[in-house]
Amino acid sequence: MSDHGVLRWNMMKSACPTRQVLDRIANKWTMLVIMSLEDKTLRFSELRSRIEGVSQKMLTQTLRGMESDGFVLRTVYPTVPVTVEYSLTDLGESLAKTVDVLRGWAYGHMSAIEDARKEYLARAETPPSEAQMRDVG
């Protein structure tokens, strides 16, 4: 809070820079990179093989964004060919704790989510009754 008691950041405002941060950390590729790096430092090829479905382009973009936001440290070694490794910074490690909570929540609630999806599909496939159609009216 500022000296005047007004919040400095308000994510509900379109110009608030925290929206950019939310976009980065809510991105599935960012989450998967964080989970991959929470235990150890990895090379690009190791990250790509660990995260099924990510393209080279998307992984490169994700890592660059994470590096610019201070979540990932990129270390280049002058070998032939050049070796590049990625690791979480202290800021990235603190975010990893939150990602771990979200992962635990998702694992713990997948059965309920699957049930809800099945119920939704069943409702969507059932034609509305005459009474329901009159209510829409």
Q: How does the average pLDDT of the chain come out, rounded? A: 89
Model confidence at 4, pLDDT cuts 50, 70, 90, reads very low
- pTM for the model stands at 0.80
Short-list 54, 2, 117, 53, CA closest to 62: 54
Reported as a single tens digit per residue, the pLDDT across 54-104 is 999 999 999 999 999 999 999 999 999 999 999 999 999 999 999 999 999
Spatial CB neighbours of 48, under 8 Å, sequence gap ≥ 6? 54, 56, 59
Enclosing H/E stretch for 87: strand 83-88
Amino acid type, 121: L
The first and second tokens of residue 65, run together, are: 């964004």
Helix orientation angle between 28-37 and 18-25, rounded to the nearest 10 degrees:
70
Reported as a single tens digit per residue, the pLDDT across 109-129 is 999 999 999 999 998 888 777
Q: Output 16 or 4, whichever has higher pLDDT.
A: 16
